[in-house]
C-alpha cells in the first residue's frame, strides 16, 4: 500500500495517550502493546491497538518504541535516556512512503546518484562517493510533527509526543566535496533538490507522491551524503544505502535512498514541497508562499523523572538542542515555570547540530510538580512558552507543552 | 575455576594469527571459529581451537570478537570501524577473575561501596551515589597487554593484537563529589585504592587473588564511579553494577564491581599491584619499585584497509589517542615509515581521554604497501618506532608493530 505524504489515513491516537504519565508496557511474548495507567489518575480513553514493528524495522527495540503505524514509530520518552547519541535501535522512524526492499542495501556500493544543475552533470556510485571525502557529524533528526500530540485543535497525522527525534552520528561525504569534483553548481542555483528512490505506484501522478525536497543552497555548508548511521551501514529503515542529510533541518529534508541531487533555480513542484510541510493557519491549504519546514528551532524536554519522584534530592534529566545554532543553556523549573534554575550539560559536546543531555539536582517536597525545561541557543533564541497554532501541528517548541507532571509521595 | 592474575594458563596463540592478513570467520551455526588465510601467503601454523563466548558475555557480537578464553575476548581489527565510540557488543573483555553472578546487577541500586581513609568513613549505596552528582566521560579502555602479540620474546599471557582497547562513554559520579560529602581524604593519602567484588576461593591467600589496585591520588581529577557504559546500565561483563573508572589509565586500574574505595598512604600489597602489572626486564620478577601500569601513552593503529587495496585513491582509516593527554595529530605512511602525510580526524572530539578516528586519502600503486600510523599527543610525545622489550609484554606503542601490510593488485 502506498500512502500519500501527510496521509490522514494514519492512525490518529488520543493525545492523552502520549501524556508522560502513561507508559506502554510490552505485554505477552507476541509483543502486543497495551497502554496502562501506572498512576490511575487519568482513565485511559481506550486500550491501544496491538501494533508490532513492521518487517523492515524488526531489528529495532520494540520496548523503546511506540508503533503508531508501519511507517511511523516513536521513541518512548522514558527510553531517551541521558546519552549523547540515540542508539539506532531506539531511533524513531517516519516514512512518507513504504521503504524499498531490503535488497537495495545488499550491494550498497553500486548505488547510483545522478547530479544535475552542475558544470559537469553525471552519475556517481556510492563506491566513488566514498573516495571523494568523508566526515562524521552528530545531528538531531526530528520530524516536523514532533510535539503534534500537544496541539488541541486536532491536527491530523501521527500524534507524536516528544519521541520523533533523536541525536545520531552520520558518516558520509560532504556534498561540497562532491560538488567540487562536478565543477561547481550552476550560477543561478538557489536550491538543493534531492529525490528519493522509493518505487511509485503506476497510474497516479508521481508529483503527488514522490519524496522530493528542496532546501536553500546555503545548506551546502553542512549537507552530506551519508552511508553510515551511528558507525554502521545505513539501514533501509533510515534511508540506506545513501541519504541526503542536512544537519539542523527537519527530518523530511533528509531524503532517503537518494537517487538524484539537482542544484535548481526553483523549488521542486512535488506536492511534498509545494503544499506539504508548510506552516499555515488552521483551515488553510498548503501553498509555496508559506514557510517550509526547513531549519529547526531551539527545543528541549524532560526525560526523567516522568511520573514519580522522591522527597528530597532528585536528579532531573532532559535533552536540549539548538537546531541550526548550538544550544547555549537550559533552565529547569519544578513549579511550571515560575522559578528557574540553570541545568548542567552532561557528557561530551558533539557539535552544533547535536543535542546535549542535561541534568539538574533538585530538592523536591511532597505533592505534584510540573517540571519544565527551557533552552536558549547561541543566537539568544529561547523556547517560547506557547505553541504556535498551525494547520498541520508542525514545529511545536513550546516549553509548557514539553514538561512532565511528577508526583512526590 | 579461579585463575590468578596474569595467569600463564591462558591459551597462548601464535602471534602470526593476529597478523592483519589473517581474518577469522564465523564457521557454522554453532559459532565455531576457525582462522583462515584469505591471501594464502603465509600458511597457518594450526587451526584455532573453536571458542565461543562465555555465558556472561553471550550478548556480545561474536563476529566482532576473537575469543581467547572465557575471560579474554578481543575486538577484531576489522570490526573497530571509524566510529568515535565502540559499541558495547564489540568491546573487548579482560577479567582477572571470573565475574560474579548476573544477579549482582538485578538490584543495582542496592549495591554498597565502603569508603575509608576519609574524614567520615561510611558506606553508600549506588542509589545514594546517583544523587551526589553525575558526569559522562568518553575514554579509551585498554588492557596493559594490548599489542603483546607483536613482542618476539614470547611473553606469556593473552596474545592481544590491537583489539584489547575501545573508546566508550562512562556515566557516573565524579569521585571528587563523593569525597566532598565524606569530608575529604586523610591528609597523608597518596593513593586511591579500589577493591573488586569478585568472590575469592577459600583456602588460598586472598592477597594473591584479590583485584585491588592503587593509583596516585592525582587521578582524583578524573576518577568516576560509573554505573553506565554507553548510556546503558553497566553489565556484569564490564564491572556492573559499579566500576571505578580512571580515564587515561590502563584497564586494570578500572576496578570492576567495586566494593570499597580507600584513600591510602601506601599502595596495596595485593599481588596484582605489588608484583603484577610492573614493567621490568625480561627474566625479572615483578616488584613494587618497578613502574606500575598506570597512565597510558599516545598510540594509534590502522583499521582499514587491512589486506587489499585498489590502484589509485584509497581511504586509509585508523584510531589514535593520547592516554592522559589528548591526541594532537596523527601521520600516516604507506611506505613503512619513510615518508609521512598528516591524516585528518574524523567526527566529533569526545574529549581528552577519547580516541579519535582518523582518515587519509591516499593514491596507491600496485604492489605491497606497509601502512603505519604515528600519533603525537598535546604534550609533544610521539609514538616510538620500536617497542620496549619487557618481561610481560606491556605497554606496546610501537608504530612499526601496529601497521598493516596491504596488497594493491
Mean pLDDT of B57-65: 96
Q: Is the model more confident about A9 or about A219?
A: A219
The band of B270, judged by pLDDT with boundaries at 50, 70 and 90, is: very high
Q: Does the residue B239 lie in any domain?
A: yes
The count of domains in chain A is 3
Residue B213 is part of a domain; what is its CATH number?
3.90.420.10
The band of B348, judged by pLDDT with boundaries at 50, 70 and 90, is: very high
Task: Please tell me whether residue B179 adopts helix, strand or coil conformation.
Answer: helix
Q: Does the residue B286 lie in any domain?
A: no
Chain A neighbors of B314, CB-CB under 8 A: 131
B169, A359: Cβ pair inside 8 Å?
no
CB A15 within 8 A of CB A22: no
Q: Does the residue B177 lie in any domain?
A: yes
Chain A neighbors of B83, CB-CB under 8 A: 136, 169, 230-231
Both A174 and A322 in one domain: the answer is no
SS (H, E, C) A61-109: CHHHEEEEECCEEEECHHHCCCCCCCCHHHCCEECCCCCCCHHHHCCHH
Both B250 and B317 in one domain: the answer is no
Both B77 and B111 in one domain: the answer is no
B136, A85: Cβ pair inside 8 Å?
no
Q: A35-39, A134-138, B78-82, B228-232: which range is least confident on average?
A: A35-39
The band of A2, judged by pLDDT with boundaries at 50, 70 and 90, is: very low
User: Best of A136, A345, A361 to disrupt the B interface by mutation (most B CBs within 10 Å)?
Assistant: A136
Domain that holds residue A55: 15-93
Q: Does B288 score more than 60 pLDDT? A: yes
Residues A324, A295: Cα–Cα separation, whole Å: 6
Among A81, A131, A315, whose Cβ lies nearest the Cβ of B231? A81
B348, A354: Cβ pair inside 8 Å?
yes
Both A261 and A361 in one domain: the answer is no
Chain A neighbors of B135, CB-CB under 8 A: 346-347
Q: Which residue numbers of B have CB closer than 8 Å to A's CBs?
A: 81-85, 87, 130-131, 133-138, 169, 171, 230-232, 313-315, 346-351, 354, 357, 359, 361
Among candidates B109, B249, B98, B72, which has minimal Cα distance to B170? B249
Q: pLDDT for A59-99, tens place per residue?
A: 999 999 999 999 999 999 999 999 999 999 999 999 999 99
Both B209 and B260 in one domain: the answer is yes
B83, A135: Cβ pair inside 8 Å?
no
Torsions phi, psi of B16, nearest 5?
A: -60, -25
Both B136 and B247 in one domain: the answer is yes
Q: Does A11 score more than 60 pLDDT? A: no
B230, A130: Cβ pair inside 8 Å?
no
Mean pLDDT of B348-369: 97
Chain A neighbors of B354, CB-CB under 8 A: 348
Last-in-domain residue among A50, A67, A93: A93
Q: Does B14 score more than 90 pLDDT? A: no
Q: What is the average pLDDT value for chain A, to the nearest integer?
A: 89
Residues A204, B20: Cα–Cα separation, whole Å: 54
A136, B347: Cβ pair inside 8 Å?
yes
Q: Does the residue B291 lie in any domain?
A: no
Q: Does the residue A218 lie in any domain?
A: yes
Both A126 and A196 in one domain: the answer is yes
Among candidates A258, A2, A51, A5, which has minimal Cα distance to A144? A5
Last-in-domain residue among A241, A274, A307: A274
Q: pLDDT for B374-387, tens place per residue?
A: 999 999 999 999 99
Cis, peptide link before residue A305, omega less than 30° from 0: yes
pLDDT of residue A51: 86
- Expressed in angstroms, the distance from the first to the final Cα of chain A is 49
Q: Does A308 score more than 50 pLDDT? A: yes
B131, A82: Cβ pair inside 8 Å?
no
Q: Does B35 score more than 80 pLDDT? A: no
Q: Does B363 score more than 90 pLDDT? A: yes
Residues B286, B97: Cα–Cα separation, whole Å: 20
**Residue of chain B nearest A357, judged by CA positions:** B136
A361, B231: Cβ pair inside 8 Å?
no
The backbone region for A315, taken as left when phi is positive above 0, alpha when psi lies in -120 to 50, beta otherwise, is: beta
Both A112 and A86 in one domain: the answer is no
Residues B378, B396: Cα–Cα separation, whole Å: 20
pLDDT of residue B43: 31
CB contact set of A125 (below 8 Å; sequence gap of 6+)? A109, A110, A111, A112
**Residue of chain A nearest B171, judged by CA positions:** A347
> What percentage of chain B carries pLDDT values higher than 70?
88
CB A162 within 8 A of CB A146: yes
User: Best of A86, A347, A349, A360 to disrupt the B interface by mutation (most B CBs within 10 Å)?
Assistant: A347
Chain B neighbors of A364, CB-CB under 8 A: none
The band of B24, judged by pLDDT with boundaries at 50, 70 and 90, is: very low
Beta-carbon-side half-sphere exposure of residue A311 (alpha carbons within 13 Å)? 4
pLDDT of residue A50: 52
Residue A366 is part of a domain; what is its CATH number?
2.60.40.650
Q: pLDDT for A326-344, tens place per residue?
A: 999 999 999 999 999 999 9
DSSP letter assigned to residue A180: H
Q: What is the average pLDDT value for chain B, to the nearest integer?
A: 90
CA distance B346 to chain A (A): 6
Among A134, A348, A357, whose Cβ lies nearest the Cβ of B138? A348
A131, B351: Cβ pair inside 8 Å?
no
B84, A169: Cβ pair inside 8 Å?
yes
The model's pTM: 0.88
CA distance B326 to chain A (A): 14
A361, B83: Cβ pair inside 8 Å?
no
Both B205 and B133 in one domain: the answer is yes
B130, A84: Cβ pair inside 8 Å?
no
A133, B348: Cβ pair inside 8 Å?
no
Q: A245-254, A297-306, B39-48, B130-139: which range is least confident on average?
A: B39-48
Strands (E), A204-288: 212-216, 224-229, 232-233, 243-245, 258-264
Q: Does the residue A173 lie in any domain?
A: yes
Residues B83, B358: Cα–Cα separation, whole Å: 10
The band of B51, judged by pLDDT with boundaries at 50, 70 and 90, is: confident
For A18, the grid coordinates are: 502520549
Both B372 and B391 in one domain: the answer is yes
Among B136, B315, B350, whose Cβ lies nearest the Cβ of A134? B315
Residues B147, B397: Cα–Cα separation, whole Å: 8
Chain B neighbors of A315, CB-CB under 8 A: 130-131, 134
Last-in-domain residue among B94, B124, B147: B94
A133, B354: Cβ pair inside 8 Å?
no
Chain B neighbors of A138, CB-CB under 8 A: 347-348
Q: Does B102 score more than 50 pLDDT? A: yes
Torsions phi, psi of B18, nearest 5?
A: -90, 0
A135, B231: Cβ pair inside 8 Å?
no
Q: Does the residue A339 lie in any domain?
A: yes
Mean pLDDT of B210-233: 98
Q: Does the residue A21 lie in any domain?
A: yes
CA distance B266 to chain A (A): 33
Both A146 and A70 in one domain: the answer is no
Both B156 and B231 in one domain: the answer is yes
Residues A75, A92: Cα–Cα separation, whole Å: 5
A231, B171: Cβ pair inside 8 Å?
no
A134, B231: Cβ pair inside 8 Å?
no
CB pairs under 8 A between A and B: 87
Chain B neighbors of A134, CB-CB under 8 A: 82, 315, 346, 359
> What percentage of chain B carries pLDDT values higher than 90?
87
DSSP letter assigned to residue B292: B
Mean pLDDT of A2-20: 35
CA distance A73 to chain B (A): 21
**CA B353 from centre of chain:** 13
Amino acid at each position: 500500500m502506498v500512502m500519500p505524504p501527510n496521509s490522514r489515513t494514519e492512525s490518529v491516537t488520543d493525545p492523552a495517550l502520549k501524556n508522560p504519565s502513561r507508559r506502554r508496557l510490552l505485554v505477552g511474548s507476541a509483543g502486543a502493546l497495551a497502554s496502562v495507567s501506572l498512576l490511575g489518575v487519568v482513565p485511559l480513553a481506550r486500550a491501544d491497538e496491538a501494533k508490532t514493528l513492521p518487517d523492515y524495522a524488526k531489528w529495532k527495540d520494540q520496548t523503546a518504541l511506540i508503533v503508531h503505524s508501519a511507517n511511523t514509530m516513536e521513541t518512548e520518552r522514558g527510553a531517551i535516556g541521558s546519552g549523547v547519541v540515540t542508539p539506532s535501535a531506539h531511533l524513531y522512524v517516519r516514512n512518507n512512503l513504504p521503504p524499498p526492499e531490503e535488497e537495495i542495501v545488499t550491494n550498497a556500493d553500486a548505488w547510483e546518484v545522478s547530479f544535475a544543475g552542475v558544470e559537469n552533470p553525471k552519475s556517481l556510485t556510492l563506491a566513488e562517493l566514498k573516495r571523494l571525502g568523508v566526515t562524521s557529524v552528530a545531528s538531531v533528526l526530528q520530524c516536523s510533527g514532533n510535539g503534534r500530540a500537544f496541539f488541541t485543535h486536532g491536527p491530523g497525522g501521527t500524534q507524536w509526543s516528544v519521541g520523533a527525534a533523536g541525536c545520531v552520528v552520520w558518516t558520509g561525504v560532504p556534498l561540497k566535496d562532491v560538488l567540487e569534483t562536478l565543477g561547481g553548481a550552476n550560477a543561478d542555483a538557489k536550491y538543493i533538490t534531492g529525490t528519493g528512490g522509493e518505487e511509485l505506484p503506476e497510474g497516479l501522478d508521481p508529483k503527488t507522491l514522490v519524496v522530493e525536497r528542496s532546501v536553500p543552497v546555503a545548506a551546502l555548508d553542512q549537507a552530506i551524503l551519508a552511508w553510515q548511521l551511528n558507525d554502521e551501514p545505513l539501514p533501509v529503515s533510515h534511508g540506506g544505502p545513501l541519504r541526503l542529510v542536512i544537519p539542523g533541518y527537519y527530518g523530511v529534508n533528509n531524503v532517503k535512498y537518494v537517487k538524484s541531487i539537482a542544484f535548481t533555480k526553483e523549488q521542486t513542484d512535488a506536492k511534498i514541497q509545494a503544499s506539504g510541510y508548510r506552516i499555515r493557519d488552521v483551515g488553510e491549504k498548503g501553498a509555496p508562499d508559506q514557510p517550509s519546514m526547513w531549519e529547526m528551532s531551539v527545543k528541549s524536554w524532560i526525560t526523567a523523572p516522568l511520573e514519580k519522584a522522591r522527597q528530597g534530592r532528585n536528579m532531573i534529566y532532559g535533552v536540549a538542542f539548538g537546531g541550526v545554532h548550538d544550544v547555549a543553556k537550559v533552565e529547569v523549573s519544578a513549579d511550571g515555570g515560575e522559578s528557574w534554575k540553570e541545568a548542567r550539560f552532561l557528557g561530551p559536546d558533539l557539535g552544533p547540530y547535536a543535542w546535549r543531555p542535561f541534568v539538574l539536582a533538585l530538592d523536591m517536597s511532597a505533592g505534584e510538580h510540573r517540571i519544565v525545561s527551557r533552552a536558549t541557543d547561541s543566537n539568544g533564541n529561547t523556547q517560547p512558552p506557547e505553541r504556535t497554532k498551525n494547520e498541520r501541528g508542525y514545529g511545536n517548541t513550546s516549553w509548557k507543552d514539553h514538561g512532565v507532571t511528577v508526583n512526590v509521595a
